[in-house]
Amino acid sequence: MALGKSASGQALGYLYQFERAIFWLSRSDIDFVSIETDDDVVSQLKSGQEINRIYEQDKSVTGKSNPFSNSNINLWKTFSIWLSIQRRFPREKARFVLSTNKRVSSTSTISKLHKANYVSDYKTDRNILEGFYDELFDIGSKLKGKSKELHDDIVTDYSKEDFINLLAKIVLSADEFYPDRNKFKEEIKTNLRIGSEVPFNSVYEKIFGWLVNDIIGKWAKGQEGTIKAQKLIDIKDVYIKESLERPFIEQAVSAIPVFDFERQQQQDKIFIKQLSLIEADEDDIVDAIDHFLRASKERDRWAENGTIPCQEDINELESDISRNWKGHKKRHLIEAKTKPTLTKADVGNLIYIDSSNAAGYSLAGYPVIQPYTILGSLHILSDKLIIGWHPDWQTEIK
């Protein structure tokens, strides 16, 4: 369980950066956005703006802690990173954003600094900034361990003036967008000028999957994770067109990530035992788990959206799959009588292979596009003991 929690926390942190990148890309004043370059997310503004770059530190946490409290190591790491950036680009007109999925206390120094900078349009009085500096360094001087080392390095490497100049450029996104995720997504919808006739959640999820796939592909090639805002506009228009031509969306595989901790949680499932009976290899089992999880997640999303395909549509699809399975099973059991060298595992594999043909199915009257919709449904039915692969699966599965 501890491993699962750790992995889920890491996954949320990873996905949070992509959500924040989509937000910045949706703004009309942004030229391009980079992930994991000089900062977690860096947004380059179009020419003619008051500032030219926005650096953002993203912290998604699953517990109750405030990642930007005065004594939190994340805050002092962030100061160290930003002071270094400020020194490397002394003439750059920049903003520095602290973003978290947690609500930050209005009495915290960072929250008060955010309010002062926002209200004054980043012209906060010098005396007020010095007060925030004193608050932070009063706490900093009492820190221990790695946090104290970061504080001491900052004191050694940077002047008070350096730090106050940085404080004048910091803003907090937590109060504006989180923890109300719907409000955050509504802001993106408004920025992209998407009308009410468009199923925005489906379009957003496809955009998210596209961005993850694009950035990871660039990282795999040793390239920077940078993307132009215009590219988001173009792909958004494609997805809107698709969504209006079909009343529901089957998300792309890249839009439904499957993590190792999720795979691990499926190891005792009945559909895995069904595959073990026919001596399926490890790759086949991993693929089966991924199909099972993606199909299950899509079904949950459809149910949450409350639109088609409804449960009746899914039941009809499962009936078609079961009917085809019965035909494949009957044929291979008959053929096996003339092929005595075939083991029961061999026969089961043949039944499984033929049943895994995902072509020709419809859902709610529309052709199924994503293979995982059918392949995942096979394993969902197998997990319910409605179908099976081994000739003796009904007696072998205890």
- Assign 252 a pLDDT band (cuts: 50, 70, 90): confident
**Res 8 pLDDT > 80:** no
The pLDDT tens digits for 165-181 are 999 999 998 644 445 67
Q: What is the pLDDT of residues 181-205, one digit of tens each?
A: 777 888 899 999 888 778 888 889 8
Q: CB within 8 A of 256, min separation 6: which ones?
A: 209, 293, 294, 297, 298, 372
Q: What is the pLDDT of residue 179?
A: 52
Tokens of residue 179, six digits: 């923890």
Instruction: Assess whether pLDDT exceeds 80 at residue 271.
Output: yes
User: Average pLDDT in the 91-120 region?
Assistant: 89
Please tell me the predicted confidence (pLDDT) of residue 1: 30
Cα torsion for 67, 213, 272, 339, to the nearest 10°? -170
pLDDT one-digit tens code per residue, 215-246:
999 999 999 999 999 999 999 988 888 887 87
User: In this structure, what are the phi and psi dihedrals at residue 227, rounded to the nearest 5 degrees?
Assistant: -145, 140
What is the overall mean pLDDT for the chain?
90
Residue 52 has pLDDT above 80, yes or no: yes
pLDDT of residue 385: 97
Q: Is the pTM of this model over 0.75?
A: no
Comparison of pLDDT for 122 and 64, the residue scoring more: 122
How far is the C-alpha of 392 from the C-alpha of 384, rounded, in Å? 16
Query: Distance between CA atoms of 314 and 89, rounded to whole angstroms?
Result: 57
**How far is residue 75's CA from residue 78's CA, in Å, rounded to a whole number?**
5
